[in-house]
A and B are shown apart, each in its own frame.
Chain A
């Protein structure tokens, strides 16, 4: 392991305005106000939390994995990473992280990609894309499949080798580890807690995650940037 910077949060669970558990195979779609802080807790370890972000006032401006990694010159996310939209607008900034590395390249599973990656017999299996599309349908409005850009995989370890290989490696997370991000604008968060049963990276055992949200400090100021 190299270059893992772990940073804990000072926020207290009892102060959270949202505190819920999302079981594997379920999802969550919610808007955050600027300064609100979202924490995702990997309750049992090495769970993949497929997550997308949108400018809530202009949903066609989605999270851009590419702009984000080019701007920071690094393909992994951790404390200090600022997640950018296609327009370059900052959506969220990671302000605490006790895992240390999150994937930007692995995307989400779908019935279709499962047939390619594993076998045609996996077509019936539940997948992140179906969770995303169900949540978009429930939300209504202009949302559609065109909005499903490549997502963040919180807690996933997808190393790229200098030789140009890409692998899903053993997880770097553990029970109770969390990542915390601050909304830099009004942002819509779309989460699928991955139900994948074919990938050893979660030991073939998808598990629940906990989601907490804190309001911005009411002292008139924003949370100190720290980045």
Chain B
């Protein structure tokens, strides 16, 4: 298999999420999903659900404790509450994405950036993560009860010895990118809204490009994410077992 092919492969789908924008949809198993920050200081909140039965969803605690990590980067996998891998982080130029899951709300957005309304500003009003996410969840027959911690791609939050959370400014430069590989059919809910701990008084105005590409078949004996740690391999084994029982594994 030529890895050069991967680089030159054309995206089967691509979209730019404007600042404040949202998107949701199902991306089938075996795709690469690449997020690219088109400016410095981006934040993309992402929620993941198993598209075939969304009561199975990305589980922040299981993901973090299995991999003994409080940040996400290449090699890590996003695990469901059924001990399976929804998506793997196969590439990352940044080294740290925030898994603590925070979304902005209308109240926090108005408090920080000032009150805006659609009535007054039309589509230049400042949107927030909770409203964006809630609308997209309802679109898929889900709702508030399905709200779970998101991954905040491109953001970094560190905790001190007392557990206080500190947002790291200047973390993500323009051009930063992270690539996921879907290991199941995944419903993504995406919101290009600021990190709530971002101290900047100006609403971040950074578009994020989403590209979906075919993923190359991989060898479980050598794949970086499968072999990142024993926990990851067992989560993949659970995933392959599910697919085999479904008759979806060649």
Contact = CB atoms under 8 A, between A and B. Distances in A.
Contacts of A162: 158-161
B237 interface: yes
A107 B60 contact: yes
Specify the main secondary structure of chain A where it touches its partner. loop
Contacts of A39: none
B70 A166 contact: yes
B144 A87 contact: yes
Interface in A143-176: 144-150, 158-162, 164-168
B146 interface: yes
B64 to A, nearest CB: 5
A76 B163 contact: yes
Interface stretch (B78-86, B119-127, B220-228): B78-86
A86 B144 contact: yes
Contact of A112 (B60, B83, B145): B83
B214 interface: no
A34 B33 CA distance: 46
Contacts of B101: 65-66
Nearest to B149: A66
A146 B17 CA distance: 28
B243 interface: no
Contacts of A75: 100, 159, 163, 165
Contacts of A119: 234
B164 interface: yes
Interface stretch (B2-10, B102-110, B182-190, B201-209): B102-110
Interface in A93-132: 101, 105-108, 110, 112-117, 119-120, 129
B155 to A, nearest CB: 12
A136 interface: no
A66 B164 CA distance: 13
Contacts of A200: none
A11 to B, nearest CB: 27
Interface residues of B, number: 48
A2 B83 contact: no
A116 B55 contact: no
A150 B70 contact: no
B64 A166 contact: yes
A79 interface: no
A141 interface: no
Given A75-B100, A76-B163, A105-B64, A120 B70 contact: no
A164 B83 contact: no
A74 B165 contact: yes
Contacts of A166: 64-65, 68-70
B219 interface: no
A116 B231 contact: yes
A113 B66 contact: yes
Contacts of A150: 59-61, 148-149
Contacts of A148: 81
B100 A74 contact: no
B60 A105 contact: yes
Nearest to B134: A86
A224 interface: no
A135 B148 CA distance: 21
B162 interface: yes
A74 B159 CA distance: 8
B147 interface: yes
Contact of A120 (B144, B147, B161, B234): B234
Contacts of B158: 162, 164
B238 interface: yes
25 contacts: A60-B143, A60-B145, A61-B145, A65-B149, A69-B100, A73-B164, A76-B162, A76-B163, A86-B130, A105-B60, A105-B100, A112-B82, A113-B81, A113-B83, A115-B83, A116-B79, A116-B83, A117-B231, A146-B146, A147-B145, A150-B59, A160-B163, A164-B158, A165-B69, A166-B69
Top-10 shortest CB links A-B: A107-B61, A112-B83, A60-B145, A164-B71, A76-B163, A66-B101, A3-B162, A160-B159, A160-B70, A75-B163
Given A88-B105, A117-B65, A166-B65, 12 more contacts: A2-B161, A3-B162, A75-B100, A75-B159, A105-B64, A112-B84, A115-B83, A117-B66, A120-B234, A164-B69, A164-B96, A165-B70
